[in-house]
Amino acid sequence: MAEKLITVFGASGFIGRYVVKRLATQGYLVRAAVREPASALFLKTMGDVGQVTPLQANIRDEASVSAAIEGAHGVVNLIGILFESGKQKFDEVHRKGAENIAKASTNAGVQKLVHVSALGASEDSQSAYARSKAAGENAVRAAFGSAVVFRPSVVFGPQDDFFNRFAEMVCVAPALPIFGCPLPSIRNGTLDCYGDGGTKFQPIYAGDLADAIVQVIDSNNVLDRTYELGGPQVYSFKEILDLILLETGRRRLLVPLPFWIASIVAFFTELLPVPPLTRDQVILLRSDNVVNEGSFSLADLGIDATSVESIVPSYLDQYCKGGRFSRFSNA
């Protein structure tokens, strides 16, 4: 295969490192477009000498974006934020930034554009995050009609901010919240503490998402589609926490947390520099984060989804009481 250049925006992030690695393995030249190139130097080791090149780019600056895309065969946009801070606003990042990338890609004659959005993106959502994601998709479609849009559920892997975050909480907190559960009540003569287990998720492995992106880049056909990507199994919030407790060998009280109480908690936590929970995120949690039936999925790309159980235990053992190797202490 002739060497083709792929520009990856957000390359130094959690998902980005998987995408860069797989692109390099496939023989592509990779331009890692990031805000701070020094933070992306580790990516250079994922390919041969000179194959991966970090480059400074600010998606709010059109000239910067154009320079990062110049000469590229394909472009991947992975940039997203979970909460607003300073100049990092949902609309600026998810809509305007995505639009700048799509327009620059069209002007540069790019052949493939993959835009990673999020499951739950909707113009009608009460969540500002979800609305901005939908606006970004529309802006990309308007500027680059053949773009492929991916909407992943919660993404997991050794560097994730989902399983790791709750595992860290398990280490220090005496109790964990289950979002979306009603307060305990008597149902059919028995005490029901958790209802249906709270919000549902369909976690997807970061490696599978990266494989899907490379699959589109490799394809000879430009597929103008939106894919909803999730793993092989749907979990309730309670099932997620039960799994974390099992793999870390810890016991904690699980507390049902109705959304109205979660909103009050979020009012205060979102005042922190890096809020663990915001009111907008509580709105998102009101809807299950699962793939809609009939949507294009990993299976349509010929990818077998990787299970949570086959990956997550390998990095949750660091949170075991006594450390990663404590399980062998009595051997």
Looking up residue 128, the CATH number of its domain turns out to be 3.40.50.720
- Residue 189 shares a structural domain with residue 295: no
Which pLDDT score, from 0 to 100, does residue 194 have? 76
- Residue 127 shares a structural domain with residue 192: no
Choice among 70-79, 106-115, 174-183 with the minimum mean pLDDT: 174-183
- Residue 170 shares a structural domain with residue 102: no
Please tell me the total count of domains within the chain. Answer: 2
Q: Please report the beta strands in 10-68, taking only residues with DSSP state E, as ranges in sequence order.
A: 29-34, 52-56
Which pLDDT score, from 0 to 100, does residue 331 have? 40
Residue 184, domain extent: 163-199+235-288+310-321
Which pLDDT score, from 0 to 100, does residue 86 have? 86
| Average pLDDT score over residue span 213-223 | 85
Q: How far apart are CA 246 and CA 239, in angstroms?
A: 10
For 270, residues 6+ apart whose C-beta sits below 8 A from its C-beta are: 83, 277, 278, 279
pLDDT above 60: residue 56: yes
- Residue 264 shares a structural domain with residue 299: no
Give the confidence band of 184 by pLDDT, cuts at 50, 70, 90.
low
Give the confidence band of 180 by pLDDT, cuts at 50, 70, 90.
confident
Q: Which two tokens stand for residue 282?
A: 């509580």
Domain contains 15 = yes
- Residue 38 shares a structural domain with residue 184: no
Domain contains 103 = yes
Domain contains 326 = no
Which pLDDT score, from 0 to 100, does residue 179 have? 87
Q: Which two tokens stand for residue 68?
A: 């990062």
pLDDT above 80: residue 25: yes
| Average pLDDT score over residue span 263-268 | 94
Q: How far apart are CA 272 and CA 89, in angstroms?
A: 16
| Average pLDDT score over residue span 66-78 | 97
- Owner of token pair 């480059």: 55
- Residue 130 shares a structural domain with residue 275: no
Instruction: Give the mean pLDDT of the chain.
Output: 92
In the beta sheet, which residues pair with residue 263?
Answer: none
Which pLDDT score, from 0 to 100, does residue 2 have? 53
Give the confidence band of 222 by pLDDT, cuts at 50, 70, 90.
low
pLDDT tens profile 279-304 = 999 999 999 999 999 999 999 999 99
- Residue 85 shares a structural domain with residue 174: no
- Owner of token pair 């979970």: 82
Contact at 8 Å (CB) between 34 and 55?
yes
pLDDT above 80: residue 207: yes
Q: Which two tokens stand for residue 10?
A: 């957000």
Which pLDDT score, from 0 to 100, does residue 308 have? 97
Contact at 8 Å (CB) between 171 and 245?
no
Chain CA centroid to CA 206, Å:
8
Q: How far apart are CA 66 and CA 311, in angstroms?
A: 38
Domain contains 70 = yes
- Residue 247 shares a structural domain with residue 220: no
- Residue 12 shares a structural domain with residue 148: yes
Q: How far apart are CA 56 and CA 93, in angstroms?
A: 16
Which pLDDT score, from 0 to 100, does residue 156 have? 97
Contact at 8 Å (CB) between 204 and 305?
yes
Q: How far apart are CA 249 and CA 269, in angstroms?
A: 28
- Residue 110 shares a structural domain with residue 12: yes
Which pLDDT score, from 0 to 100, does residue 1 have? 47
Domain contains 328 = no
Order across the sheet with 226-229: list the strands. 52-56, 29-34, 5-9, 74-77, 112-116, 148-152, 226-229
Domain contains 31 = yes
Phi, psi of 279 (to 5 degrees): -65, -35
- Residue 38 shares a structural domain with residue 81: yes
Helix segments in 75-205, DSSP class H: 90, 98-107, 128-143, 163-172
Domain contains 171 = yes
- Residue 149 shares a structural domain with residue 295: yes
Q: How far apart are CA 177 and CA 54, in angstroms?
A: 40
Which pLDDT score, from 0 to 100, does residue 325 have? 62
Domain contains 331 = no
For 129, residues 6+ apart whose C-beta sits below 8 A from its C-beta are: 82, 90, 94, 118, 280, 281, 284
